[in-house]
Amino acid sequence: MVSTIIKDGSIFSGILIGFAGWIFISVGGGILGAILFAIGLLAVVYSGTSLYTGKAGSWTFKFYSLGSDTWGLLKILIGNIVGCLIVAWISRLSGTLNTEFLASVIECRENSDSLETIARSIGCGFLMELAVYIWREKSSVLGVLFCVPSFILSGFFHSVADAFYYLAYGNFETWMISVYLLTVLGNFIGCSIRRVFIPYK
């Protein structure tokens, strides 16, 4: 499993999104932070590495097998989280994190009920998969440049970015587990909407 998440670049994707989250928190969010966050997904699509919200919309599951096809998406998410952990550790040492703003981001997750969390996560998943779809079909970064700021300014939840926020925050609380799992689920649902109506060519 370790060799798989290294080879598919999922850890590096987590690092890229972690750095995007670090920048977003450091500048205090807002329109500037939302625009700068796009750096993360831009780097992911150009490097071709594996990101959970980039793969969930096109992943083919084989539930009759316990091989890599069944657990591959989970391995990507784990690799992404490991990458976020690395950046979270560095960011906490840097002294550049806007801790007050980070606390407000965490508080937003804590105060979201289950349906709200899933709905916000579906919105994010839909926009992230749409950005990747536009990149794959048209080789255009316009989807990234518009979809990323849109999901952030709308207050949607991104499972990989949120992994960075939780890890950078550093104070584990039990509610985070359920909220995070709902975020992962909502992202998957959102990422799957496009392929129901428009499959890849």
Per domain, the residue ranges of the chain are: 2-197
Placement of tokens 């990422």 in the chain: 191
Return the exposure string of 18-32: e unless at least 16 CB atoms fall within 10 Å of the residue's CB, then b: bbbbbbbbbbebeee
pLDDT for residue 3? 57
pLDDT for residue 132? 94
pLDDT for residue 198? 86
Per-residue pLDDT tens for 13-36? 999 999 999 999 999 999 999 999
Who has greater pLDDT, 72 or 19? 19
pLDDT for residue 69? 55
Q: Which residues have CB under 8 Å from 82's CB, separation 6+?
A: 5, 10, 11, 14
The whole-model pTM stands at 0.91
Q: How far apart are CA 120 and CA 4, in angstroms?
A: 30
Q: Which DSSP letter does residue 29 get?
A: S
Per-residue pLDDT tens for 109-156? 999 999 999 999 999 999 999 999 999 999 999 999 999 999 999 999
SS (H, E, C) 124-187: HHHHHHHHHHHHHHHCCCHHHHHHHHHHHHCCCCCHHHHHHHHHHHCCCCCHHHHHHHHHHHHH
pLDDT for residue 72? 84
* Mean pLDDT on 185-198: 93
Does CATH place domain 2-197 in 3.40.50.620?
A: no
Q: Which residues have CB under 8 Å from 143's CB, separation 6+?
A: 130, 131, 132, 133, 134, 135
